[in-house]
A = this chain, B = another copy of it.
């Protein structure tokens, strides 16, 4: 499957790119508003994967080209860039499944707060951490298109240590997205809890 990671040069995109490239044979294409940056990062990721014993090809393009003919397009951009990124790539999307892991958050003295409107899930947070660290986390996925959701859940399962969970439709977004600021708040307030994920049982 061809996966385009728009905003693939940021932390979340990097985590997803490396995890998918390391754990699966999906074709990884990085997108950025700056094609030169996308190419440079793609080479960096290839070098890192090579050093970990994975001979994998990662390519980089401007967002519009990265999205072209991708089976799955992941919007690994900050929440406030979701709208303009979608707008920029609309022509390239065709039948692609669009995945939005970005979560709108605000920060004040008390901590991080969930800040609707909702655009995502915590899938990406789970993938951010060190590639050599073993993870064992859950990834709640929601969406109104059942087939698309199934595909995304399968892609999450392709990353070792991630268990996808069905969190229902788009109307359930707020309950899932509130997890991200909660994870950050718990990491801030409790000793020894960093790079925090979540497991439901």
Contacts and interface: CB of A to CB of B under 8 A. Distances in A.
Interface of A: 108, 110-114, 136-137, 140, 165-169, 171-172, 174-176, 178-179, 181-183, 185-186, 188-190, 193, 196-201
20 contacts: A111-B169, A111-B171, A113-B171, A114-B178, A137-B201, A166-B189, A166-B190, A167-B182, A167-B185, A168-B185, A172-B182, A172-B185, A178-B178, A178-B179, A178-B182, A196-B200, A197-B200, A198-B200, A198-B201, A199-B200
B196 A167 contact: no
A197 B189 contact: no
Contact of A113 (B136, B172, B188, B197): B172
B197 A201 contact: yes
Contacts of A197: 200-201
Nearest to A135: B201
Contacts of A185: 167-168, 172, 175
Nearest to A177: B178
A182 B175 contact: yes
Nearest to A169: B110
Contacts of A174: 113-114, 178
Nearest to A189: B166
Contacts of A193: 165, 200-201
